[in-house]
Structure 1
Amino acid sequence: MFKPQKPTDKSTYNPIMLYFRGLRRYICTRLKRINTLLAVCALAYCLVLTTPSHADDDDLKTNSATLTLTAHAQQLAGITTLTLTPTTRQAEFTAYGKVVNIQPLLELRNRYKLAVTDNRAALARYRQAQQDINRQQDLYRSGISSKRNLQAQQAQWQSAQAQVASADLQGTAIKDEARLLWGKTLTDWAFAAPAQELDALITGQRHLLQITLPANKQLDKPGVQIVADASGNRSLARPALWLSVATQTDAQGASHFFQSDDNRLIAGMKVTAWIPEQHQALTGVTLPTSAVLWLMGEAFVYIKTSTDSFARLAIADYFAVADGYFVSTGLKPGDQVVSLGAQTLLSEELRGQIPDLDDDD
């Protein structure tokens, strides 16, 4: 807050006049600062609006003013450049899914094992009943046993036969239910003896993923390998192998089962998957993660245009890969990209756009 000073000439001293004079000077000073800040904000906003979403070779210098740094200054700032080389990548699309809890499949397996046990017991009773009825028939033909005893033995034999058929039907019904819910591959895993593949899922050595494809997408071919990650970070994604088509899908698109050995996964987690496009390979360059800057929601890199000159370039057609970002347009092999020290260049560029606000005059 301002503090009015008394003039040396007491004849002109007027407290009210001095107060309003100081107040006017204070307001004018603050308005000047506010106007300056508004002008800086407007300049930054205009830079964002006028920055193209992608650029070709002729537009290289339209993204920002050229920065000039001597070789000595570059060395002090730790500026390091990387010469881009041509790269070919399989185009990818993103899909989403979850880590599946296989407990319902284990319950079906346990029910099937009980059905198999019941079937074996029923089959044993049936075989015993078959022997008993054969013996009763011999006794009846010899006149030793009555017809009533033979008929009773026949009833027991028919009951044992029905129990075998019932146990068979129960086991078949459980298998059919498993195929309906989980598909043939996982059902075969569950009911195999020994169930080595399923044991890997039970012990956590592998995890079952269900990935739902977008409505307009499909897998390139059965057995395709994808990559998936629970955090949605493409650079951290781990491989996942295709198992089978999921029998239960939603309105969004077809679902597929995959298995992954990523030990970070837990049942119930949501995952993001990156899936190769059908027969579509892209050519471009790969940028290290340290070369990419983010400003106002857009991705930028700095290109070395001469020995001591740099220009900022916006990139649009890119996607994350394990070793950085793949860019298909806007950059070409042979371009020198700042791989270390790009943040220093951005700070220097923005600092040059902001005027000194400490001067009240």
Structure 2
Amino acid sequence: MHHVLITGVTGFVGRALAANFLTHGAKVTAVSRNDPDGIRTTEAVLNAARGCELDVSGAVEHNLRILNIDFANLESELAAAGLGEITEIWHVAAEMSYSSHKLGVSFDTNVGNSARLYETALRHAPHCRRFYYVSTAFVADMAGGPVREELHAKTRIVNAYQVTKWSTEQSLHLLHLRCGLPVTIFRPTVVVGHRRTGWAHQNGFGFYMFQDAMIAIATAGHKEIAVDLVAEIRPDLVPIDRLCADAKALTLREDSGDEFEVFHASGGLNVPMGELVRIWGRAAGVDARIGPPNNLLEEKFDRGIGLNRPFGRTEWQFERSQLDAAIGLAQPVQPLTSKEVETLCAWYVGVSSGANTPRTAELAEASQTIASEV
């Protein structure tokens, strides 16, 4: 039986991975912070199971172990908890900040904790066969174009998240060369909700930052918006169910794989940015279109999406042939259609509008700020 240790299980990708592995019959050890009774982590896994239409009845009670860890004492607390049954590690937890002001904290979290977890596995998880690290496809050069499944020796990047993800890949490669535990660098593209149900975790990151901004605009009473992106650019959107299928197939493959691997968990290119902007707008009740900012509202919106604007103005073609070969995928991945993207956005807006969550409060505050300043 596989026994997978997963970090970041309260996040979007981590909770979905945990639910998928449990459904397959694997045991899961979830490493969490600030969750002494395990309720928050358990609820996250159940939330993902519902959203992905997975049956985890019984599995959560019998096959999910939750370790509440203080990362300052990562090594000693994991050693004390016992890692003797662990067969694979999926390290998903990350500091997501783009801010250069948080570069030190981000480096300690993303690079330092990844190295510490790898070294802890070497010492205390004798049956661990592989260390899977969830990076990002956007460690690639900001120039765009074709991107191969390999380490990038040099790259032009623009935020602290990219810097620390790139650095972690290099660090793990060095550790692998020194220590030998096999490593897989797993690089998702733009992670979006479930292809069929629309389910996603409401974290306002990446794709959903734009949707949140549209919701705030609509809630403030505005009916139209111009968005300064490039209409023809096609972002690579990977549904969470595709990402989990890739991760599960890698983990459960019979072939041992290469000692050090780099894979792109990509969803392919299809819907252009001009259509995406219209879909985001329609879902929120706003007439949204591509164009430069022409008024105070659009200037404020433009500043609000500034951190993600470079990614909406650049097209990459992320190869995934090595991943497909590793998991034996015979048919190419089918990109999301416009209708499927509409389903994702409609679900997200519906939940954002109807639920009393911290995210709802944040959106309400954003809409009030827009209304008062424009």
TM bin, normalised by shorter chain, reads: under 0.3
TM-score for the superposition, normalised by structure 1: 0.19
TM-score for the superposition, normalised by structure 2: 0.18
Higher alpha-carbon Rg: 1
